[in-house]
Amino acid sequence: MTQLTLVLTEGNTETEISVKQDVFIIGRLPDCDLFLPFGGISRRHARIVKSSRGIWTIEDMGSKNGTQLNYNSVTTPQELHDGDVILLGNVTLTVDFTTDVETPYSQYLKNPETNSQAVTILRDVQELQQQWIEASGIHGKNNKEKAIARLKDLVEIAKNLCAAASIEEIFSQVQQVVFRYIDGIERLALLIDVDNSGTLQLINSAIKNNSEQIELPSDGSWISRSICQKVFTEKVAIQSADTRSDERFSCEQSILVKGIMSAMAVPLWDEDKVVGVLYGDANLYSSHWENNGEEELSFFSTLANLVASSVQRWLLAERLKNQEVIRQRLERYHSPAVVQQLIIAKSFTDIRLPPIEREISILFADLVGFTEISERKQPTEIAELLNKLFEEMLKEVFANGGTLDKYIGDCIMAFFGAPEPQIDHADQAVSTAKAMLSRLQVLNASNFWDEPLQLRIAINSGKAIVGDVGSSQRLDYTALGPTINLAARMEQICPIGECVISEATYHILTEQSDFQLMGDHRFKGIGRVIKVYQTNMSLK
C-alpha cells in the first residue's frame, strides 16, 4: 500500500512524518496534525487531502505568506507527486510516496543493546501516592539513602511552599528538587488552569543546567499539549521513556516536530480538583526510566500533590487581588452597596466589563453659568467648587442605584439600569434629579458657596451600549448610543433650576403627574420631533 510521507528539512536534519489520515492539517496551532511553530507559518496554513480514488492534493487555507508547490503559488488544490517540494514560509517539506516503512525515529530510539520497546507508564494518581517510599519498591543501601534524602527534601519544600508569596517562588522550589532527583528531565513546566475554564496556561518553565541562559518560548509551543490535556482531564500520571516508539503517541506528529523523546506529566491534584499540570520532558531517550519509571513517576506525583495546595492558595490570592482592583474601579462609578452586589453576583476573571446592550435612563446635570463663574475665580477656587458640588450630587446618584459615567467639565453624566438591570430605571433617574435640585436648594440656603448655584437636568430613556471602552492603559465604563446624544441635546433647552425628560422617559414613569408637556422640539442630528416634558421644581 502506498504511504504518503512528508520529509521536513531543518538545516542538516531531516524528519519523516507519516500522513495517516485523509485530511491532514499543517499550521502553527498545537492541534494541527503537523504542528510547525515557526515564523511565516499561519495558524492553519495548508491542508493535504486524499480523495476516494487515492489521489493526494494540497491546498492553501488562506495563509498570510501563502503555500508553494515546486516554487509555484498554490491558489487551487494541486495534485501531489513523489519528489514534489512544498514551501510554507521558511519551512520545506518533500513529498515521498513509498510503501509503509518504519520511520527512522523508531529505528533510532530502540535500545540498540537490548532492542526493547519504549516503556510508557500510565497510572491513576491515587495509586502513586507514597508508592515511591514503600520498602518493597526500594532495594539496596544507596536507594534507601536516596529515598530518605528525597523525603527530607519534600519536608523542606513543604515548609518553603507554605511561605512562598509568589508563583515564581513556588516554581523555584519545585525545579530545584526535580532537577536534583529525577534523571531524564531536561525541561520543566508548570501549567495552571488560572481562570477555571479548563484551559491550561504556561506559568513558568526552566531548563536543567542552563548555563547559557536559554529562554524557552513563553507560548509553551515546546510542550506536548496533548499529553498535558490528557493528564489534566483524566486525572492520570503519564511517563514515557520513548514517546515516538509508543503506539499511544504514534499519531501525534507534533511530538516528532518538537523533538520530544521522553516525557513525564502529573496532575496538580488538590482534594477532588485538578488545578494544573507539572510537566517535564527531554530530547533524549530515557533508558533510566525503563528500570526506575514507577519510582520516578511516584516521586514526581507526590511532589505535585504538595505543589497543588500552594497553587490553590496562589490562585485564591490572585482572585482576591483581582477583585480588589475591580472593586476600586467600580467604586468610581457605583455606591459601595452596589459594588458589593456586583462582586458577589459576578465571577470577574478580567478587570474589563464587556460592552452589552441595556435599557437605561441617562441623566445630564449641568451647572448654570459656569463660564461666567470661571472668569471671576482662580483655577484653584473653580476646582474646589466642582469637587464640593460633585461630592454632594453624587450622593443622590448612588442613593438611587445610579452609575456615574463621567464628569464633563461642570456636567455630571450618570445612568440607571446598568451594570445591574433596573426595571424602574426611569423612576430612579427622575427621583435622583429631584433630589439633586432639592439638595442644591438646601446647600444654597446654608451658604454652600459665595453665590447661589443652579442646575439644568435632562433625562432620556432607551437602549444603549454599556461597558468598558478604551485601551489596555486606560478604560472608562461608559454608555454609548443615540439615547445618550438626545439627553445631551435636551439639557441645552432645560429651564434653569428644573428637569426635563423625553417622551420615552415620560411614558415609562410610574408617576407622570409631576410633569407637564413643554412642547415639541427638534434637535441637531436627530431627524424627528421630540416631545419634551418638564417639572417646575419651585412648585414642589
Sign of CA dihedral 442, 445, 446, 452: positive
- Asked if omega into 355 is within 30° of 0 (cis), the reply is no
pLDDT at 423: 93
Beta bridge partners of 412: 365, 407
Q: Which of 394-403, 470-479, 497-506 has the lowest mean pLDDT?
A: 470-479
Pairing of strands 13-18, 475-480: unpaired
> What average pLDDT is seen over the chain?
79
Asked if pLDDT for residue 346 goes beyond 70, the answer is no
Cβ-proximal residues to 415 (8 Å cutoff; 6+ apart), any chain: 360, 361, 362, 363, 402, 403, 405, 425, 429, 464, 466, 479
pLDDT digit string, tens, across residues 75-124? 999 999 988 999 988 788 999 987 544 433 333 333 333 333 445 666 65
Q: Side by side, which strands form the sheet with 273-282?
A: 120-124, 236-240, 262-270, 273-282, 187-192, 201-207
Cell numbers linked to 454? 443652579
538: DSSP letter: G
This prediction's pTM: 0.46
> Among 456, 460, 530, 469, which Cα is nearest to 499's?
456
Rounded Cα gap, residues 188 and 103, in angstroms: 28
The answer to whether the beta carbons of residues 325 and 353 sit under 8 Å apart is no
pLDDT digit string, tens, across residues 287-335? 656 666 677 788 888 888 888 878 887 777 777 776 677 667 666 666 6
DSSP string, 47-61: EEEE-TTS-EEEEE-
Cβ-proximal residues to 320 (8 Å cutoff; 6+ apart), any chain: none
pLDDT digit string, tens, across residues 146-179? 666 666 766 777 766 666 668 888 888 888 888 8
DSSP string, 443-469: HHHTTSSSS---EEEEEEEEEEEEEEE
DSSP string, 365-427: EEETTHHHHHHHS-HHHHHHHHHHHHHHHHHHHHHTT-EEEEEETTEEEEEES-SS--TTHHH
221-252 per-residue burial string, b: 16 or more CB within 10 A, e: under 16: bbbbbbbbbbbbeebbbbbbbbbbbbeebbeb
pLDDT digit string, tens, across residues 71-83? 899 999 999 998 8
Torsions phi, psi for 494 (to 5 deg): -75, 130
Rounded Cα gap, residues 419 and 402, in angstroms: 10
Asked if pLDDT for residue 230 goes beyond 50, the answer is yes
Which three-class secondary structure state does DSSP give residue 191?
Answer: strand
Which three-class secondary structure state does DSSP give residue 349?
Answer: coil
Residue 426 binned pLDDT confidence (cut-offs 50, 70, 90): very high
Asked if pLDDT for residue 408 goes beyond 80, the answer is yes
Cβ-proximal residues to 336 (8 Å cutoff; 6+ apart), any chain: none
pLDDT at 147: 63
Rounded Cα gap, residues 535 and 513, in angstroms: 9
Three-state secondary structure of 82-151: CCCEEEECCEEEEEEEEECCCCHHHHHHCCCCCCCCCCEEEEEHHHHCCHHHCHHHCCCHHHHHHHHHHH
Three-state secondary structure of 195-224: CCCCCCEEEEEEECCCCCCCCCCCCCCCCC
Helix (H) or strand (E) holding 278: strand 273-282
pLDDT at 110: 34
Q: Could you give the angle at the alpha carbon of 254 between the alpha carbons of 253 and 260, nearest 5°? A: 110
Helix (H) or strand (E) holding 267: strand 262-270
The answer to whether the beta carbons of residues 441 and 390 sit under 8 Å apart is no
- The percent of the chain in helix, strand and coil, each rounded to the nearest 5, is 35, 30, 35
67: DSSP letter: E
Rounded Cα gap, residues 526 and 462, in angstroms: 15
Residue 508 binned pLDDT confidence (cut-offs 50, 70, 90): very high
Cell numbers linked to 8? 521536513
